[in-house]
Amino acid sequence: MTRGIGQYIVIRGLMIIPTILILYTIVFIFLRILPGNPVLAVVGTKNISPEQLQHLMEMAGLDKPLYVQYFDYLWKMLHGDFGVTLAFPMGKPVVEYLKLRFPATLELTIFGFTVSVLIGLLTGTVAATKKGTKIDTGMRLYSIIAYTLFIPWFGMMLQYVFGIHFHVLPTSGRIDPGIELQRITGLYVLDSILTGNWEAFTSAIRHLILPATTLGIVLSGAYTRLVRNNMVDVLSQDFIRSYHARGVRDWKVTWYALKNAFIPVVTLMGLQFAILLGGAVLTETTFNWPGMGTFIVDRIDYRDYNAIQGAVVFFAFFVGLISLIVDIIYALLDPRVKY
């Protein structure tokens, strides 16, 4: 069996290559489709001499024909090089920004993801056990409203209530200024635990609460729905009835049902993660969170296409990796999956 799963992982891993290639191609085509010089778009014609321009173009690899650029970038990417920035500062490797920014996004999405799954499991289970009642209808409405919440608006309302009105939680950034934290993984919560820095830990958690809640609640609606429907199916099956007949306590039966209803939820997690990343861009902008999303938005202002390309293609890698992980978890959980 172990050899089976090993093979499955390799084959499934190879399947993410076309996905990344296609997304890279789409992004490349879109960012290069317009005529005009990307460097001039950033610095403007007046501020630069022809020699300087030539030098910059060479540095950014933009002086070659498009198809050469396409394969050059692909080759570099496989070696962890995502090109250089075109402005502010010019010529800095994009990957340095990614190293700095990605852990921030990862931390936010991990916490947002956890919040969404927990709320989804709770509301979905409650709705299923109270099927057909007003509580069930209420949970259904909750799932629709949560789904259509506009992240910046919801985030701002939380900022207003908890940050401005009651003044109990910070509304922007990742940590209080002035707190020294040794950087190991870039995930502040993890780093502060590893270094035993409890002041930084508390601060990082407090900064995470509002953005993670915003992201988590918006994403929880889909889980509520799915968990409820799966639970309703499972609860009507024979083995549940036999548990009841044997006098097993209600909460225990619910727990067994939840375990059975959970497997399809894993599939949803993969898709939800992509939506989570899109939502993270808006959450980061709203809460001034120094992650990948704010990086892309900052680079939009500079019209730095090189940096945007690097960040977006990096996202494609990440999405591919997540879908791989989700599929492996699914295969391990569900014995019916054939490797």
CA distance linking residue 162 with residue 172, whole number of Å: 12
By CB under 8 A, the count of residues binding other proteins is 48
Rg of the chain, C-alpha, whole Å: 24
List the structure tokens of 171.
Answer: 């509304």
Sketch the per residue contact string, 9 through 28, with other proteins: x for CB under 8 A, - otherwise.
Answer: ---------xx--xx--xx-
CA distance linking residue 134 with residue 235, whole number of Å: 19
312 binds other proteins (CB under 8 A): yes
CA distance linking residue 324 with residue 332, whole number of Å: 12
Q: Which of 134, 125, 296, 306 is nearest to 225 (CA)?
A: 125
Burial category of 260 from C-beta neighbours within 10 Å (exposed 0-12, middle 13-18, buried 19 and up) = middle
Minimum CB distance to other proteins, residue 49 (Å): 27
Among 1, 33, 78, 245, binds other proteins (CB under 8 A): 33
Among 203, 214, 285, 306, binds other proteins (CB under 8 A): 285
Minimum CB distance to other proteins, residue 287 (Å): 11
Q: Which is nearer to other proteins, 27 or 231 (CB)?
A: 27
CA distance linking residue 131 with residue 51, whole number of Å: 73
CA distance linking residue 209 with residue 161, whole number of Å: 13
Minimum CB distance to other proteins, residue 41 (Å): 10
286 binds other proteins (CB under 8 A): yes
> Which residues of this protein are in contact with other proteins, per CB under 8 A?
18-19, 22-23, 26-27, 30-31, 33-34, 144-145, 147-154, 156-157, 159-160, 164, 270-271, 274-275, 277-279, 281-282, 285-286, 296-297, 300, 303, 305, 308, 312, 315-316, 319-320, 323
